[in-house]
Amino acid sequence: MTGTVSDPDALRRRALAALLAARDRTSLLTTCVEEPELTAQHSPLMSPLVWDLAHIGNQEEMWLLRAVAGRDAMRPEIDGLYDAFEHPRSERPSLPLLSPAEARGYAAEVRGRAIDVLESTPFRGSQLTDAGFAFGMIAQHEQQHDETMLITHQLRSGPAVLTAPDPAPAPQFRGPAEVLVPGGPFTMGTSTEPWALDNERPAHHRLVPPFFIDTTPVTNADYQRFIADGGYEEQRWWAPAGWDMVRGNGLSAPLFWRREGGQWLRRHFGTVEAVPPDEPVLHVSWYEADAYARWAGRRLPSEEEWEKAARHDPATDRSMRYPWGDTDPTPERANLGQRHLRPAPAGSYPAGESPLGVRQLIGDVWEWTSSDFLPYPGFAPFPYREYSDVFFGGDYKVLRGGAFSVDEVACRGTFRNWDHPIRRQIFSGFRTARDAGPAEAS
């Protein structure tokens, strides 16, 4: 779907496909475990899986049945239970939640009615329905909770219950370690992408000095060199709060890693495996990414640098939807949608590289940037303040690019993710950057 599609029938088909794909994934993530595991809290950082399941249905009802179609609430008494701002995750197991069977039934009934609404709603007349925005928003919301549930699956103990083929083997990448992104203005954000969320808007100009950025994400082998060189033991590499985190929690490696028999092992969706050297490093906090970059004599890219590297085409001087152009992601271009349960080796997906030759900017791992999560000039909250506006100005750091855990409907060159700099359970990695000297910039 291009960013300027105006054919309502095409958008309706797109919305239906996105909603169905999200529900298929939700079903996969909630039918592969027994009921006790659906109702258990596998980490205080996460909700019980059954909460996510009913919350998905509740949000769909609120926005598609009530806000778009003007229908009465189906179960108004549960709204408070599934309000993410009313109850923190640590409290949710103690709430009188719907049982797994009730949650499935509720979500299925809402979906049936929502499809009727989709078929009859004109994609015009209000900001909520223009270009089918509300339906795209709900598909993205469900996929975002699917990613959250996938994180819960990684955190849970017990044997593996999810399977997926590994990414296709890729030839060892032999390209340059970094590329120069020329300085100058570019268009950041979007005012035309039909389903872009409020924090991606509006499009605006940024002037970015020339810089170098890694051609691929930092790998496990790269990160192991940082560990071996005493990276977790040298205070000089760490931001003060990061050093406090390392010392206070006894950290010495990414989350889920352990040293055994002279090698690094990791727990990965219920199995234990040797850490693959060529994969992008995963489950590192912003503080760890920042410390590695300092150790390497580099820095994390800013959010605007990341987006310029991912979207700007120097040949046409325009910003594209994706590094490869304006067409939608395909399996040849990016590792998305839980097709695999791991990142592909660094340097994979040559068909998805940017005009400057930067690879894996979309998919594989979320990439930490140096930037705080702030609104763009001209930002307007829509359709509710709690999606973005209430998070601006906190300690949140921006992540870009999506991961193997992200569906394409919730991933594009303008998409912004954010989290606390201490978070490690998310599917986060990074790449580094550096300033270009005067002689290098020409």
Distance in angstroms (rounded) separating the CA atoms of residues 431 and 442: 23
Name the nearest CA neighbour of 351 among 365, 330, 336.
330
Distance from the Cα of residue 284 to its chain's centroid: 14
Q: How many residues does the chain have?
A: 442
Residue 262, number of CB atoms within 10 A of its CB: 5
Main-chain phi, psi angles of 159, to 5 degrees: -70, 165
Distance in angstroms (rounded) separating the CA atoms of residues 212 and 199: 26
Distance in angstroms (rounded) separating the CA atoms of residues 182 and 209: 7
The single residue listed with the structure tokens 């709603």 is 121
Residue 54, number of CB atoms within 10 A of its CB: 24
pLDDT of residue 3: 46
Question: pLDDT in tens for each of the 442 residues of the chain?
Answer: 554 456 889 999 999 999 999 999 999 999 999 999 999 999 999 999 999 999 999 999 999 999 999 999 999 999 999 999 999 999 999 999 999 999 999 999 999 999 999 999 999 989 999 999 999 999 999 999 999 999 999 999 999 999 999 999 888 899 999 999 999 999 999 999 999 999 999 999 999 999 999 999 999 999 999 999 999 999 999 999 999 999 999 999 999 999 999 999 999 999 999 999 999 999 999 999 999 999 999 999 999 999 999 999 999 999 999 999 999 999 999 999 999 999 999 999 999 999 999 999 999 999 999 999 999 999 999 999 999 999 999 999 999 999 999 999 999 999 999 999 999 999 999 999 999 999 998 7
- pTM of the predicted model as reported, rounded to 2 decimal places: 0.97
List the beta bridge partners of residue 265: 258, 274
Distance in angstroms (rounded) separating the CA atoms of residues 167 and 130: 37
Handedness of CA 91, 94, 96, 99 (dihedral sign): positive
